[in-house]
């Protein structure tokens, strides 16, 4: 481990939050019994919020953001991991209350660390990252509530051009689903969404009513929502009897305007998805699927960036101008 190394540091002064690349030492890293040399991280919506004033992600400063990372073990105090072993970390408090992946080195608790599955590279793990892991959890939850590729069902993915949504479309395609609707913001997103596996493209302006109806025409059996707010409110009344909507994001707002009618007259299920504190015991099996049947990384819309380029990526995400995934290359 180098005595001095680079990291993106978020600081707060007089209520204003700023971020910059700094040369730091290991004293700035949070406590943990595993030190990892970071090779890759990724850029998620939460990472963008982490560098904003009143972003709601970081409460104690200074902090190093980056909720994902993959790399090689430098040391492990309890012997659970060996030096040089390839590992990944997503979620828990990484990049929030615990210094994260936008650093050449991290120090984390062993119980947050997963061995990199065979057949998955360090970069591929970050093409997936928290966004892909969240998409996987959403699909698994919907399938536990009746969604099946063997049935003629209409599936909708909102925010389909973003990190979670774009991977979700790919995973649905890889799982054999046919009627995959992707909700897009703009027409210029259509070709890329079709290339990912969407069979139908819907524009938000034409699909979300200005004022949600109590009950609308039944159009979708299952909805994988990553947006929340007005989008989720407008789509809930359009779900078929007995259908479900998973929810994992709030880019469109944290409030919903709805009634009890979709739930008590159509038996609709609302499924909350949390990838931050998902039990470590169940994570390995999901990552093994990304090394196998869900190995969709080579077709993903992804761009590699370095620390110097993160600010521009954050700005694009905040402005809704991003597409797909961004992987931060540290090594």
Give a yes or no: residue 280 inside a domain: no
Same domain flag for 140 and 51: no
Judge whether 181 and 200 are in contact, CB under 8 Å: yes
Same domain flag for 172 and 260: yes
Same domain flag for 103 and 177: no
Among 229, 257, 272, identify where a domain stops. 272
Element (H, E) at 173: helix 163-174
Structural domain harbouring 50:
5-116+301-329
Tell me, what CATH number does 143's domain have?
3.40.50.720
Strand intervals (E) in 142-250 = 155-157, 180-184, 200-203, 220-225, 239-247
Return per-residue pLDDT of the chain as tens, 331 residues.
899 999 999 999 999 999 999 999 999 999 999 999 999 999 999 999 999 999 999 989 999 999 999 999 999 999 999 999 999 999 999 999 999 999 999 999 999 999 999 999 999 999 999 999 999 999 999 999 999 999 999 999 999 998 999 999 999 999 999 999 999 988 889 999 999 999 999 998 889 998 888 999 999 999 999 999 999 999 999 999 999 999 999 989 999 999 999 999 999 999 999 999 999 999 999 999 999 999 999 999 899 999 999 999 999 999 888 888 999 999 8
Same domain flag for 316 and 268: no
Same domain flag for 145 and 219: yes
Same domain flag for 79 and 212: no
Under DSSP, the state recorded for 32 is: -
Same domain flag for 45 and 146: no
Under DSSP, the state recorded for 188 is: G
Cα(37)–Cα(216) distance, integer angstroms: 52
Element (H, E) at 271: strand 269-272
Give a yes or no: residue 123 inside a domain: no
Same domain flag for 207 and 104: no
Question: Burial level of 224, CB count in 10 A (0-12/13-18/19+)?
Answer: buried
Same domain flag for 103 and 197: no
Same domain flag for 32 and 135: no
Judge whether 301 and 323 are in contact, CB under 8 Å: yes
Tell me, what CATH number does 23's domain have?
3.90.180.10
Give a yes or no: residue 263 inside a domain: yes
Q: Locate tokens 């090779």: which residue?
A: 39
Among 255, 272, 289, identify where a domain stops. 272
pTM, to two decimals: 0.94
Give a yes or no: residue 174 inside a domain: yes
Same domain flag for 239 and 321: no
Give a yes or no: residue 283 inside a domain: no
Judge whether 170 and 197 are in contact, CB under 8 Å: yes
Give a yes or no: residue 122 inside a domain: no
Judge whether 34 and 105 are in contact, CB under 8 Å: no
Give a yes or no: residue 121 inside a domain: no
My answer on whether omega of the bond before 62 falls inside 30° of 0, hence cis, is yes
Q: Number of folded domains in the chain?
A: 2
C-beta neighbour count of 28 within 10 angstroms: 16
Same domain flag for 215 and 268: yes
Beta-carbon contacts of 119 under 8 Å, excluding residues fewer than 6 positions away, are 291, 292, 295
Cα(5)–Cα(26) distance, integer angstroms: 8
Cα(305)–Cα(150) distance, integer angstroms: 39
Give a yes or no: residue 219 inside a domain: yes
């Amino acid at each position: 481990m180098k005595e001095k190394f680079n990291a993106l540091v978020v600081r707060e002064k007089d209520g204003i939050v700023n971020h910059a690349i700094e040369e730091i030492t290991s004293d700035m890293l949070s406590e943990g019994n595993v030190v990892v040399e970071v090779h890759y991280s990724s850029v998620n919506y939460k990472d963008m919020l982490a560098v904003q004033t009143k972003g709601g992600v970081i409460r104690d400063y200074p902090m190093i953001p980056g909720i994902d990372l993959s790399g090689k073990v430098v040391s492990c105090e309890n012997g659970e991991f060996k030096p040089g072993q390839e590992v990944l970390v997503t979620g828990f408090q990484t990049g929030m209350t615990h210094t994260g992946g936008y650093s050449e080195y991290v120090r984390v608790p062993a119980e947050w660390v997963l061995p990199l599955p065979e057949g998955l590279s360090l970069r591929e793990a970050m093409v997936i990252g928290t966004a892909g892991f969240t998409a996987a959890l959403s699909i698994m939850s919907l399938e536990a509530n009746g969604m099946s590729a063997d049935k003629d069902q209409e599936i909708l993915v909102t925010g389909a051009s973003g990190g979670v949504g774009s991977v979700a479309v790919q995973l649905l395609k890889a799982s054999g689903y046919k009627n995959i609707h992707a909700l897009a913001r703009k027409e210029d997103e259509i070709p890329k969404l079709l290339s990912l596996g969407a069979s139908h493209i819907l524009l938000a302006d034409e699909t979300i009513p200005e004022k949600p109806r109590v009950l609308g025409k039944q159009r979708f059996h299952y909805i994988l929502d990553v947006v929340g707010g007005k989008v989720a409110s407008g789509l809930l009344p359009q779900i078929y009897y007995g259908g479900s909507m998973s929810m994992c994001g709030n880019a469109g707002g944290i409030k919903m305007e709805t009634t009890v009618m979709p739930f008590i007259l159509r038996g609709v299920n609302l499924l909350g998805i949390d990838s931050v504190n998902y039990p470590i015991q169940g994570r390995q099996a999901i990552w093994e699927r990304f090394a196998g049947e869900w190995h969709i990384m080579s077709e993903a819309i992804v761009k590699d960036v370095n620390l110097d380029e993160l600010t521009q990526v954050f700005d694009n995400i905040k402005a809704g101008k991003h597409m797909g995934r961004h992987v931060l290359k540290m090594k």
